[in-house]
Structure 1
Amino acid sequence: MELSLGLVLVVVLVGFAVGYFSALFGVGGGVIMVPFMVLVVGLTQHTAEGTSLLVIIPTAIIGVSVHLRKGFVSPAKGLLIGAGGVVGALLGASLALRIEEDSLTKTFALFVIVFGARTAFQGWKLRRAAS
């Protein structure tokens, strides 16, 4: 898919939103980026996932540096979790590349739906408990 000026502007705007919410909530942003890159930009699921991981690097560095300056980073715990994350990333990336495109897309969609529903339910419970 050729990137027109309009699509480039949309891609940059979505990138801005992903960076903003990643730093605001401490999330990677792949839940937004991957479907966007598949549905709008025209990338395959495998390429969208790899590209999403690439985007996380600079946004995470900026987000961490801002939080670190304010003292809101636990380096020891972060490094321990990160060590497990490195192993998980190696295994997950290897598995993702062995799964057929269609199956990977459906698995990703199911993951987003299940965790989105879980998050919404927890918010609903918190609101009910507060009232």
Structure 2
Amino acid sequence: MAWLLLVLLGVAAAMFGSIVGLGGGIIIVPMLMLLGPVLTGGEIGHATAVGISLTVLVVTALSSTLTYTKRKIVDFRSGWLLFITSGPAAMLGSALTGLLPAGAFQLIFGVFMLLMAAILVARDYMKPFTKTWPIVRTMTDAKGQVHTYSYGLVPVLAIGFGVGLLSGLFGIGGGSLFVPLMVLLFKFPPHLATATSMFVIFLSSILGSGMHIYLGETDWLLVLALAPGAWIGGKLGAAIAVRMSGKGLLWLLRITLLLLAVQLIIEGLKTF
């Protein structure tokens, strides 16, 4: 029964994560911490939960990226640029995870998610930057639609570092930050931002999970149980995402972040 629950958790987390560009870690980490006794008969520490999440994210993000690539909505050039700083930062964040007490980790994680939800709600009342940045990108997707957007080198590298650090620290992949920033600051179309975010998550998760593995903060039995579902869920989520409207994607992301933020804050406060 526990094995079946883990497979289903992998499917649900990966499917939802790839739809909104999160990578699924936002669901896997809190669920592993909350359901540890049911799944393994013992508590699962936050550092181990993050290590498991990032390892599974490699599978989820690869699955989603391959599906998005077929639809020609992954901007690989921009993705590699973001990875220049997000990759090393993910390793740094992963090294810092175990230094936080469990309660503090949940509380900080919850507040972070709450802020992300607030930013996404405020997005409707904020005007996207109208500035044309130095680097202009134009992409044509599989449907023949042409998308044009732009960004600056320094802002992209700074965003990559900040998101990579939080990704490694919380095991969430980073899409919760990448997607709104890419849409708001650089006018990426939501679907293209989600797809490109998943590619960066794939690369960064390899380095972040490698650090957790090095520190002994990964349970390979749980990874093996979650990985098959993550592969299936990643493909399903990517297929669903391209059929949803940009507004639908953003509202789904807002509601999820809000609900999980409240739960994490409550759990964190219980330890004080």
What is the TM-score when the length of structure 2 is the normalising length? 0.43
Residue type matched to 1:36 in 2?
A: L
Report the Cα distance in structure 2 between the residues aligned to 1:63 and 1:50, rounded to whole angstroms: 20
**Residue by residue, what CA displacement relative to the aligned partner does 1:6-36 show, whole Å, maximum 9, x if unpaired?**
8321121111011112112222111111111
Question: Which protein is richer in helix relative to its size?
Answer: 1
Q: Which runs of 4 or more aligned residues in structure 1 lie more than 4 Å from their structure 2 counterparts after TM superposition?
A: none
Same amino acid, percent of matched pairs: 30
1:8 is aligned to 153
Candidates 97, 117, 122, aligned match of 2:267:
122
For residue 147 of structure 2, what is the aligned residue in structure 1?
Answer: none
Number of corresponding residues: 127
Unaligned ranges ≥5, structure 1: none
CA shift at 1:2, angstroms? 4.4
Pairwise CA distance, 1:112: 1.9
Q: Following the alignment from structure 2 to structure 1, what is the Cα–Cα distance between the partners of residues 171 and 205?
A: 9
Q: TM-score, normalised by structure 1?
A: 0.84
What is the letter of the counterpart of residue 4 of structure 1?
Answer: P
Supply the RMSD in Å over aligned alpha carbons.
2.0
Q: Separation in 2 of the partners of 1:44 and 1:79?
A: 35
- Is structure 2 residue 234 aligned with structure 1 residue 89? yes
1:48-70 deviation per Cα after TM superposition (whole angstroms, max 9, x unaligned): 11011011112111111112122
By relative contact order (CA 8 Å, sep 6+), the higher-ranking structure is 2
Output one character per residue of 1:68-124: Cα deviation in whole Å (capped at 9) or x when no partner.
122222223212211111111111111111112222222222222222222223223
Aligned to 1:23: 168
Q: More strand by proportion, 1 or 2?
A: 2
Within the candidate set 99, 108, 113, 2:253 is matched to: 108
Ranges in structure 2 where 5+ consecutive residues have no aligned partner: 1-130, 136-150
Partners in 2 of 1:21 and 1:104 — Cα distance?
22
